């Protein structure tokens, strides 16, 4: 991995590091939201809410939060990919 960063400007390394860390933090936050209700993903949580297995509040808010985190992670991944392609066309 050291070779990858070797030819990058310090500000580029910082940006890549920041985006990577953010992805990890968001992933962990999503997993925590889902784990509160014993769900592995948003679809399972939604079904548990619909089936009355978990209380609608705060499960629905956590469901929405997990969906938002997933969408945000996808946007950040796309940004990270574009940034890396710009650095190494």
CA-based nearest residue to 62, from 86, 33, 40, 82: 33
The answer to whether the pTM exceeds 0.85 is yes
Report yes or no: 80 and 20 within 8 Å, Cβ to Cβ: yes
Report yes or no: 38 and 48 within 8 Å, Cβ to Cβ: yes
User: 8-63, pLDDT tens digit by residue?
Assistant: 899 999 999 999 999 999 999 999 999 999 999 999 999 999 999 999 999 999 99
């Amino acid at each position: 991995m050291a070779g990858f960063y070797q030819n990058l400007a310090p500000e580029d390394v910082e940006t890549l590091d920041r985006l990577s860390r953010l992805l990890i933090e968001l992933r962990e936050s999503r997993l925590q939201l889902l784990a509160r209700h014993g769900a592995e993903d948003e679809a399972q949580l939604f079904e548990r809410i619909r089936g009355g297995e978990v209380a609608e509040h705060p499960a629905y808010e956590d469901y929405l939060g997990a969906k938002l985190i997933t969408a945000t992670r996808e946007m950040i991944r796309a940004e990270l990919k574009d940034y890396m392609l710009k650095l190494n066309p």
